[in-house]
């Protein structure tokens, strides 16, 4: 199970990480806190903020789950899109909601209740800022349109540079000023540390290369590798994760595969496997995560 680490207390996770890193100074520096804060956490684990809980989870996954998952010649059962799913609102609408909220949840602090209000009320709820509304609304509508085109209308989505830019515009319209355009600045990876993104002047050429090499990916193995490659390019100033995961969905639906759902439950492992693939060129943990997340979807 992917989520076994959620069943372990944060004090126990810190103890296990301490055994690996040996010194409390090393552990606190790795997390980015003081030794005093580390001591306080052990005494009052409920005081650990959501940000640091995620940091601890990612670190735990890197040290204890990635080595376990980083084995070659793994075989997984192919998860096909269920035949009855396209015509069953009770199946695909909840799936689209989970997928849409999950991709936003990974990168923002949006609450599930706020997302539900956005989708159910179709208007800006009271006490919600416009950007939060648009992030939720754009995510759901973009995924729904992909589903309608590929599954309901039976039209495979061509993975082209124009379509990728359109996806970015769909997600980020009203949220990001340069929606639909490649970035002209150096981009940071956020939680994927020590990873260098493509230089701004090389983005167009590298994206053409990405399309040539990966646009027709039709297995979860090749789609997972394509996803890591896309995020490594990081062509946009913001919203790369959302666009990248939407491309995963499109490629899966084109191949009639069940798309994996990434959300707060598997977020730590998602970051850990992505970083492992980008830094070390080892994709086995990421591929396994894709299969596990598709199976749970």
Catalytic residues, which ones?
Answer: 234
Please check if 243 is assigned to a binding site. Answer: yes
Please check if 170 is assigned to a binding site. Answer: no
Please check if 237 is assigned to a binding site. Answer: no
Please check if 241 is assigned to a binding site. Answer: yes
Tokens 């990248």 sit at which residue? 244
d(CA 70, CA 85): 33
- Of 257, 261, 227, nearest to 244 (Cα)? 227
Please check if 36 is assigned to a binding site. Answer: no
DSSP string, 152-214: IS--PPP--HHHHHHHHHHHHTTTSTTTTS--SS----TTSTT-PPPPGGGHHHHHHHHHHHH
Let me know: does 171 contact 141? Beta carbons within 8 Å. Answer: no
Please check if 78 is assigned to a binding site. Answer: no
Please check if 182 is assigned to a binding site. Answer: no
Please check if 261 is assigned to a binding site. Answer: no
Please check if 178 is assigned to a binding site. Answer: no
Phi, psi dihedral angles at 80 (to 5 degrees): -85, 155
Please check if 154 is assigned to a binding site. Answer: no
Q: What residue numbers does the annotated binding site for ATP cover?
A: 238-245, 270-271
Residues at the annotated binding site? Answer: 238-245, 270-271
């Amino acid at each position: 199970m992917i989520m076994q680490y959620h069943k372990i207390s944060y004090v126990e996770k810190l103890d296990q990480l301490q055994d690996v890193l040996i010194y409390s100074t090393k552990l606190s520096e790795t997390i980015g806190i003081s030794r005093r804060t580390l001591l306080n956490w052990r005494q009052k684990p409920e005081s650990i903020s959501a940000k640091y809980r995620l940091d601890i989870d990612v670190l735990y996954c890197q040290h204890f789950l990635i080595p376990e998952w980083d084995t070659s010649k793994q075989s997984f059962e192919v998860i096909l899109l269920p035949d009855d799913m396209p015509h069953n609102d009770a199946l695909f609408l909840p799936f689209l909601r989970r997928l849409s909220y999950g991709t936003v949840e990974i990168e923002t602090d949006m609450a599930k209740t706020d997302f539900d209000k956005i989708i159910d009320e179709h208007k800006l709820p009271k006490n919600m800022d416009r950007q939060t509304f648009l992030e939720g609304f754009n995510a759901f509508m973009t995924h729904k349109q992909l589903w309608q085109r590929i599954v309901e209308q039976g039209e495979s989505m061509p993975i082209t540079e124009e379509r990728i830019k359109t996806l970015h515009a769909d997600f980020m319209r009203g949220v990001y000023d340069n929606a639909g355009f490649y970035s002209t600045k150096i981009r940071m990876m956020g939680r994927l540390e020590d990873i260098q993104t493509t230089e701004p002047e090389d983005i167009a050429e590298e994206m053409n290369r990405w399309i040539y090499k990966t646009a027709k990916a039709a297995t979860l193995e090749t789609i997972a590798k394509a996803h890591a490659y896309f995020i490594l390019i990081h062509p946009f100033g913001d919203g790369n994760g959302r666009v990248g995961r939407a491309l995963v969905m499109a490629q899966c639906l084109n191949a009639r595969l069940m798309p994996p759902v990434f959300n707060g439950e598997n977020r730590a492992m998602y970051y850990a496997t992505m970083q492992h693939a980008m830094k070390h060129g080892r994709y086995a943990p990421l591929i396994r995560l894709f299969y596990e997340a598709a199976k749970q979807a």
